[in-house]
């Protein structure tokens, strides 16, 4: 007994360690902790790779292993399974295996030298979306007023499918308190009406993981009155099921679901409880719910499906008991009691076990406190091994849901697993004990700044770590004493709290973490800010339609915080409408209408706090007037100047009459009688709802202001001017802009700038202080003062030297701020040197590249613009070519050292030189050099003529190329015959010497066209060809034998016979086509009312009785297959056969992927590939021609 009391006292003393469990920094040794794992019930998509997560941290980093179905899973032996680097996550590649092979129970283990952590049992199952079983559903015929259930019975899937009923057009079937869907998916009718008749009641099942939708075969329902049943049953419905033979009279309710007077239901704590009661009766019964043993939980109770379903979310033990559903109509009432039992899978009473960090010799407690219904059992394990099988440890004692550690020593670190289970589930938690000796360290960032609003709580953190656990003390400013007691509250985790912060609480705070191994301190800054407050709130407004509404919202906030103003309408965003204008302290709505009525809220947010205020806008009809006449507004009046300062003034005015058109804005103008008397300038614009403007002014000006109003008609006349407001002179605020320096001669520097305006001068006596000095020389500034000008010339400067420049504005009251330094150069002169080391490389017969050394900058004497290459052709190297001297220039901008000369003539002599040029002009040329271009291919021969044409011979004559591009080494002649269809015959080729200009060809065929090709050659290759065609002379004997076939009698007779035959065939075709026209389509429909027995044409070339194309289209209400035939008894499996929109959305198994839609697609008719119209005359002609 005494030992129990000691243990209880020890437990109380050690609860502090439980409350202050620490997070161990990752740079310190620690056992593994699992940070991420897959859910216990893990449903996977069979189309994707399987990823089973297991992540853990620790020092050293843990290694990982897995079990599958309770035995070790050797990952290396399965080529489809891999483990991510530095992780325990498994990746299963299902491209080489089936997902079913990996439907198992997995558990991950993470271990290092300090302990072992294990994951939950992860049950991996693949999602399933099985097909609907095929069945033939007979039409249902019932009497009006009876109850009815249309069964759905979807295939079992994982997870279970979502059920809904739709028609052929993918539109949800209407439901009501008379017709509704039950929890199992069946469609219940409390009583049927004649309008319930339709042939497309279709139940759909959507499987969420694969996004697959399966459909049941459509159900056809016919609701008849008793008289209609007697008249039509024998003739049309002798093979259908009748649900009732008696008249359906009014009747009191009875329950269809659930059956009997009472039932029971079990639900787990935390889940959703759903109970349903579906009753039949006439009139339709109303359903109500109550709890016999108490009240329904109002905030967790929902009524669905027209009161037929009662749903209670987040079920607790208090929801157990008896529930009653009541169905009533005017004929009676019926009750059903449902007894609900609430069970509970294990759940944590307090937080799950937390990690312990203890110093050697300290004590600690691990607690695993959970509950459940029935009461769960608790088992402990150490490093994944049942604790009863673990090594004995005298410092450890297990008492049911608690492990007590006393006087722990180094080496006692381990991971403990607590498993809480009952028949409805289990909880598994890992918690380690880590035995460390570690001096304190403060984890909160150094010099962290905390900002808080005055009169609000202030909390400053001092997160720390150490073993033993450090003690935290706080100081402020001078450290005269520790902060303990009012107004400070010190929390166990080291955080200090000031319940109501005031301005004097701001300052520098120091927290010190101290244990037996040392101490560490950290500094914290606290800033106390003024609260944000709305000084002028928006007011209630009543505005006529078409007018403007203005809400004011003036705010005061701490100047160090950045404010953001937001306006809301009816707690939502403002409409995206240009009529809504948000200013810094107001909201303006122009041309208000009824839709603008509502509550408007202004919210001023800062990073620390906010304030808000609201007002309502009511829109009323404008007062009717006989005829609304709009005009320009009257000019504003009563201009006043207030809040006068050196450089600003407040202008107020009274708006003039709007004349039935709201003022959109005011335009404020000024006149400066000191500098521009009689000239009015625009100063600023403000919204038409404002009557005040804050105007920024310049010194040394005599201002007069006026205001104009603008509405939809136009501008008003200007107001009367205000009184004159004179601002005092001051030194200039700004210096001239656009300062630049350049020389007009080789020995000067011209400094220029954009002068200030009179308003910019800020005072009398404006002049400019011009300063310059050479940039590269460490010299003093040269200064000159000038007035009434915008440039200054410095003479006697060295040629092209960089200068630093400044121009400062000065008046009688002082100088402007020190101006920025600008840069310029003195004047340029012509370059005095030519490029050296000029070389040329001939790249080919028409391109050369010139290289040179850049000219040193001291010889350029100006801004380098580039280089110019002058080149010209001296003469052609061929003696027959004339002498040419044509100079050409190529310019290369920038600091280039080479350039290419294109377009050169082959086999020619060229001369060239190179010059540099700057902004002033060109320098001297380099020494002229020469180069030769190599030979190129020649041009085409100048001419090619055919002479002396005979039966089998002819002569060709030509002239040499005009452009030879080298020495002609010979000619190549090719020729070939051409027949009457322009097909080319075999090619003959002759090689001719360079001095030949003609050749005679013999042994040619008479009466034949020939084509000739001739080109010249140099050493470089062959040039382009010149061609010519001619025909040899025809033999007279052959010509005499040729006759015109069109004049022969036999040919004329054959053509007449063919024409007669075609005419006969056309007559037959038209007669056969018109035979079917004697029966109207309507008579044929009346004669064949049953689409299943519609006569169809044979698939041949004969002409049937009904030959019009319309006869091949499906009759109304029929379903015609794409081959044009109708088979009685075919299964109507496909959704394409019903209504519209069937094409392209369904798989072969009858399912379709993705969302359903009502898109309408016209069904293809059968006549598309089997037209029975008469053959056309063109086809008949083609057939005859192919026969002939």
Kind of pairing, strands 864-876 and 212-215?
A: unpaired
- Cis amide linkage into residue 87, ω under 30° from 0: no
Kind of pairing, strands 518-529 and 448-453?
A: parallel
736 touches 724 (CB < 8 A): no
1147 touches 1154 (CB < 8 A): no
Look at the block and give the residue holding tokens 């007779």: 1053
669 touches 708 (CB < 8 A): yes
416 touches 403 (CB < 8 A): yes
**C-alpha–C-alpha distance, residues 162 and 184, integer Å:** 10
Give the count of alpha carbons within 13 A of 355, CB side only. Answer: 20
CB atoms within 10 A of CB 343: 19
DSSP structure string for 1103-1152: --S--SGGGGSPPTT----TTS---TT-----GGGSSS--TTS--TTS-E
Give the count of alpha carbons within 13 A of 715, CB side only. Answer: 9
629 touches 711 (CB < 8 A): no
Closest CA relative to residue 496, chosen from 521, 475, 527: 475
**C-alpha–C-alpha distance, residues 1141 and 171, integer Å:** 12
Q: Residue 860 forms beta bridges with which residues? A: none
**C-alpha–C-alpha distance, residues 1014 and 943, integer Å:** 10
pLDDT at 233: 55
**C-alpha–C-alpha distance, residues 55 and 119, integer Å:** 10
pLDDT at 159: 87
Helix-helix angle 1177-1187:1049-1074, to 10 degrees:
140
834 touches 917 (CB < 8 A): no
Mapped onto helix, strand or coil, the DSSP state of residue 52 is: strand
Residue 108 vs residues 36, 65, 70: alpha-carbon distances, Å: 11, 6, 11
Per-residue pLDDT of 794-828, as tens digits, reads 999 999 999 999 999 999 999 999 999 999 999 99
pLDDT at 374: 94
pLDDT at 187: 94
Query: What number of H helices and E strands is found in the chain?
Result: 7, 88
CB atoms within 10 A of CB 1158: 13
pLDDT at 967: 87
CB atoms within 10 A of CB 337: 14
DSSP structure string for 145-206: T--EEE---PPP-BSPPEEEEE-TTSPBPP--SSEEE-TTS-EEESS--GGG-EEEEEEEEE
Kind of pairing, strands 90-92 and 81-83?
A: antiparallel
pLDDT-flagged residues of the chain (< 70): 1-22, 226-248, 624-627, 879-885, 1035-1048, 1075-1188
Q: Which two tokens stand for residue 991?
A: 């090689």
Distance from first CA to last CA of the chain, Å, rounded? 125
Kind of pairing, strands 941-947 and 954-961?
A: antiparallel
Segment (H or E) for 682: strand 680-687
Residue 823 vs residues 77, 738, 803, 836, 1010: alpha-carbon distances, Å: 77, 11, 6, 32, 79
pLDDT at 1112: 39
Closest CA relative to residue 954, chosen from 1028, 1040, 1037, 1039: 1028
Give the count of alpha carbons within 13 A of 383, CB side only. Answer: 15
Residue 772 vs residues 553, 743, 797, 817: alpha-carbon distances, Å: 55, 14, 11, 17
pLDDT at 471: 93
Look at the block and give the residue holding tokens 């759903």: 274
Look at the block and give the residue holding tokens 């190549």: 972
Closest CA relative to residue 1031, chosen from 951, 956, 975, 972: 951
**C-alpha–C-alpha distance, residues 46 and 80, integer Å:** 15
pLDDT at 1049: 74
CB atoms within 10 A of CB 807: 27
Q: Is 660 left (phi over 0), alpha (psi -120 to 50) or beta?
A: left
How far is C-alpha 790 from the chain's CA centre? 56
Classify burial at 906, counting beta carbons within 10 Å of its beta carbon; exposed 0-12, middle 13-18, buried 19 or more. buried
pLDDT at 1107: 37
């Amino acid at each position: 007994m005494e030992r129990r009391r000691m243990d209880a006292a020890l437990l109380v003393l050690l609860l502090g360690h439980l409350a202050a469990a620490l997070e161990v920094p990752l740079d310190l040794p620690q056992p593994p902790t699992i940070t991420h794992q897959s859910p216990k019930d893990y449903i996977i998509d069979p189309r994707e790779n399987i990823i089973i997560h297991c992540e853990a941290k620790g020092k050293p980093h843990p290694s990982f292993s897995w079990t599958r179905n309770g035995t070790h899973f050797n990952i290396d032996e399965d080529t489809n399974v891999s483990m991510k680097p530095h992780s325990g996550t498994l990746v299963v590649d299902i491209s080489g295996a089936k997902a079913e092979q990996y439907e198992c129970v997995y558990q991950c283990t993470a271990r290092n030298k300090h302990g072992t952590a294990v994951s939950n049992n992860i049950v991996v199952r693949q999602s399933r979306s099985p097909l609907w079983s095929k069945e033939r559903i007979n039409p249902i015929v019932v009497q009006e007023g009876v109850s009815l259930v249309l069964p759905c019975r979807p295939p079992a899937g994982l997870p279970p499918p979502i059920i809904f009923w739709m028609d052929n057009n993918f539109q949800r079937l209407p439901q009501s308190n008379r017709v509704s869907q039950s929890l199992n998916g069946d469609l219940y009718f409390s009583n049927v009406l004649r309008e319930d008749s339709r042939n497309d009641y279709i139940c759909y099942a959507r499987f969420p993981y694969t996004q697959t939708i399966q459909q049941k075969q459509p159900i056809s329902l016919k609701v008849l009155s008793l008289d209609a049943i007697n008249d039509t049953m024998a003739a049309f419905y002798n093979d259908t099921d009748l649900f009732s033979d008696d008249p359906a009279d009014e009747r009191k309710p009875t329950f269809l679901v659930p059956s009997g007077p009472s039932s029971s239901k079990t639900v787990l704590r935390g889940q959703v409880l759903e109970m349903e009661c579906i009753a039949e009766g006439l009139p339709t019964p109303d359903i109500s719910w109550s709890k016999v043993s108490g009240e329904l939980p109002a905030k967790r109770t929902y009524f669905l499906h027209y009161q037929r379903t009662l749903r209670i979310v987040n079920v607790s033990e208090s929801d157990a008991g008896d529930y009653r559903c009541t169905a009533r109509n005017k004929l009676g009432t019926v009750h059903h009691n449902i007894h609900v039992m609430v069970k509970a899978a294990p759940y944590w009473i307090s937080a799950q076990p937390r990690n312990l960090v203890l110093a050697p010799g300290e004590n600690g407690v691990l607690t695993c406190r959970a509950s459940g219904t029935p009461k769960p059992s608790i088992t402990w394990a150490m490093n994944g091994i049942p604790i009863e099988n673990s090594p004995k440890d005298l410092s450890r004692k297990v008492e049911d849901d608690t492990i007590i550690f006393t006087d722990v020593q180094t080496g006692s670190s381990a991971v403990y697993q607590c498993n809480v289970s009952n028949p409805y589930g289990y909880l598994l938690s890992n918690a380690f004990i880590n035995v460390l000796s570690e001096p304190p360290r403060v984890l909160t960032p150094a010099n962290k700044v905390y900002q808080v609003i005055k009169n609000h709580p202030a909390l400053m953190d001092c997160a720390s770590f150490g073993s033993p656990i450090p003690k935290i003390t706080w100081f402020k400013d001078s450290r005269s004493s520790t902060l303990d007691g009012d107004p400070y509250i010190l929390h166990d985790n080291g955080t200090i709290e000031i319940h109501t912060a005031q301005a004097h609480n701001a300052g520098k705070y120091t927290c010190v973490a101290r244990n037996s191994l040392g101490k560490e301190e950290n500094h914290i800054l606290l800033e106390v800010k003024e609260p944000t407050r709305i000084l002028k709130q928006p007011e209630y407004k009543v505005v006529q339609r078409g007018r403007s509404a203005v809400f004011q919202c003036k705010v005061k906030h701490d100047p160090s915080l950045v404010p953001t103003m937001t306006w809301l309408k009816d707690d939502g965003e403002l409409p995206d409408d240009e009529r809504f204008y948000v200013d810094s302290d107001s909201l303006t709505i122009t041309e208000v209408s009824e839709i603008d009525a509502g509550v408007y809220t202004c919210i001023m947010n800062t990073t620390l706090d906010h304030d808000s205020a609201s007002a309502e806008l009511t829109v009323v009809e404008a007062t009717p007037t006989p005829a609304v006449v709009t005009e320009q507004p009257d000019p504003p009046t009563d201009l006043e100047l207030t809040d006068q300062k050196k450089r600003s003034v407040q202008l107020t005015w009274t708006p003039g009459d709007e004349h039935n058109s709201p003022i959109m804005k005011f335009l404020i103008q000024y006149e400066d009688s000191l500098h521009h008397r009689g000239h009015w300038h625009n100063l600023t614009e403000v919204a038409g709802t404002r009557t005040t403007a804050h105007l920024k002014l310049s010194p040394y000006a005599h201002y007069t202001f006026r205001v104009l109003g603008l509405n939809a008609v136009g501008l008003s006349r200007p107001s009367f001017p205000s009184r004159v407001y004179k601002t005092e002179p001051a030194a200039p605020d700004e210096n001239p802009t656009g300062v630049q320096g350049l020389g007009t001669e080789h020995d000067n520097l011209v400094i220029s700038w954009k002068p200030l305006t009179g308003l910019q001068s800020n005072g009398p006596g404006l002049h400019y202080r011009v300063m310059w000095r050479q940039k590269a020389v460490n010299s003093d500034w040269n200064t000159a003062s000038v007035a009434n000008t915008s440039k200054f010339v410095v003479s006697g400067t060295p040629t092209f030297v960089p200068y630093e420049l400044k121009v400062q504005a000065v008046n009688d009251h002082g100088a402007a701020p020190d101006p920025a330094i600008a840069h310029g150069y003195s004047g340029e002169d012509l370059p005095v040197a030519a490029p050296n080391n000029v070389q040329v490389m001939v790249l080919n017969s028409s391109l050369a590249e010139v290289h040179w050394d850049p000219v040193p900058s001291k010889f350029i004497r100006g801004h380098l613009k580039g280089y110019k290459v002058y080149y010209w052709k001296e003469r052609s190297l061929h003696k027959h070519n004339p002498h040419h001297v044509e100079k050409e220039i190529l310019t290369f901008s920038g600091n280039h050292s080479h350039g290419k000369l294109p377009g050169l003539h082959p086999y020619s002599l060229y001369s060239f030189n190179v010059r540099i040029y700057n902004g002033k002009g060109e320098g001297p040329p380099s020494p002229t050099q020469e180069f030769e271009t190599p030979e190129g291919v020649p041009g085409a021969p100048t001419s090619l003529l055919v002479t002396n044409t005979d039966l089998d011979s002819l002569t060709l004559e030509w002239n040499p190329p005009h452009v030879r591009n080298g020495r002609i080494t010979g000619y190549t002649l090719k020729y070939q015959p051409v027949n009457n269809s322009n097909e080319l015959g075999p090619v003959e080729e002759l090689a001719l010497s360079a001095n030949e200009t003609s050749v005679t060809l013999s042994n040619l065929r008479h009466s034949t066209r020939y084509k000739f090709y001739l080109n010249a050659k140099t050493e470089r290759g062959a040039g382009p060809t010149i061609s010519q065609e001619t025909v040899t002379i025809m033999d007279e004997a052959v010509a005499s034998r040729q006759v015109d076939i069109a004049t022969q009698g036999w040919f004329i007779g054959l053509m007449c016979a063919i024409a007669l035959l075609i005419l006969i065939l056309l007559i037959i075709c038209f007669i056969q086509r018109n035979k079917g026209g004697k029966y109207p389509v309507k008579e044929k429909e009346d004669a064949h009312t049953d689409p299943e027995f519609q006569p169809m044409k044979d698939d041949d070339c004969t002409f049937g009785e009904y030959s019009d194309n319309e006869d091949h289209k499906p009759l109304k209400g029929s379903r015609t297959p794409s081959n044009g035939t109708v088979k009685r008894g075919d299964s109507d499996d496909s959704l394409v056969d019903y209504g519209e929109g069937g094409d392209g959305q369904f798989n072969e198994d009858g399912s379709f992927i993705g969302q359903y839609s009502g898109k309408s697609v016209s069904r293809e008719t059968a006549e598309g590939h089997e037209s029975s119209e008469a053959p056309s005359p063109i086809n008949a002609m083609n057939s005859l021609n192919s026969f002939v």
